[in-house]
Amino acid sequence: MTKLPKNYRAAAEKVGEGVRAPLEALALVKEVAFAKFDETVSVDFRLGIDTRQADQQLRGTVSLPNGSGKTVRVAVFAEGEAARAAEEAGADIVGTDELTAQIQAGEFNFDAAVATPDQMGKVGRLGKILGPRGLMPNPKLGTVTNDVAKAITELKGGRVEYRADRYGIAHVILGKVSFTAEQLAENYGAVYDEILRMKPAAAKGKYVKSVTVSSTMGPGVKVDSSVTRNYTEAAAE
């Protein structure tokens, strides 16, 4: 069994086993973070869904009110007027055939991709390359669109993707340790509201089984899943 680092063990000891209100849990995540870099803070929702069933899958995007703290590089497959709009909106890479060639050569200088519908014939051929990396434009996620400027603004402004894996766990970024606890709690609330809103109709039994927040290197802190509003308020005594 791998021995845990001393500072991780100390953090885990401080966290303990208790369940906390969102604001308190996120303040504790900040308090026990020990890495020398600005760690990412994320949340894991363990859901009572069977993602092997087509009617129990969960996937979408949500905009974080305080952003994600991450610099997102956006590539856009577009031509003509849409390409000009993409450049004006701050896209990092804009192109068609040359962008396709870069990707086929193994160059991925972007974190998200957007495409206009007329480009999907070309982009579709890159599915086996982009798909496993989570970079394939998808109309359900708003990344196959004629309004490329809106998609770029949202991606760069803190829109994050959520997706339940085969175990029914949805892992979502909330921000950085450098955010205030209130900012993280606001972002948490936006994500949790979306997870609740998107509950598959076919889900049976308890939907949200547990919620845990953590930083990149830190231990998980359990969150009270019964709190579904007033996320930035301290727990009542």
Output phi, psi for 208, to 5 deg. -95, 105
- Give 28 or 1, the one with higher predicted confidence: 28
Confidence of residue 3 (pLDDT cuts 50, 70, 90): low
Confidence of residue 51 (pLDDT cuts 50, 70, 90): very high
Closest CA to 42 of 177, 156, 228, 168: 177
What pLDDT shows up at residue 6? 85
Confidence of residue 236 (pLDDT cuts 50, 70, 90): low
Q: What pTM does this model have? A: 0.85
62's torsion region: left (phi>0), alpha (psi -120 to 50) or beta? beta
pLDDT at 237 over 70: no
CB-based contacts of 29: which residues, under 8 Å, 6+ apart? 41, 177, 184, 213, 214, 215, 218, 221
Confidence of residue 13 (pLDDT cuts 50, 70, 90): confident
Q: Cα(49)–Cα(23) distance, rounded to whole angstroms?
A: 27
Average pLDDT, the chain: 93
Structural domains of the chain in order of their starting residue, each with its CATH number: 18-68+159-223 (3.30.190.20), 74-157 (3.40.50.790)
**Which helix (H) or strand (E) element contains residue 202?**
none
Q: Cα(49)–Cα(3) distance, rounded to whole angstroms?
A: 34
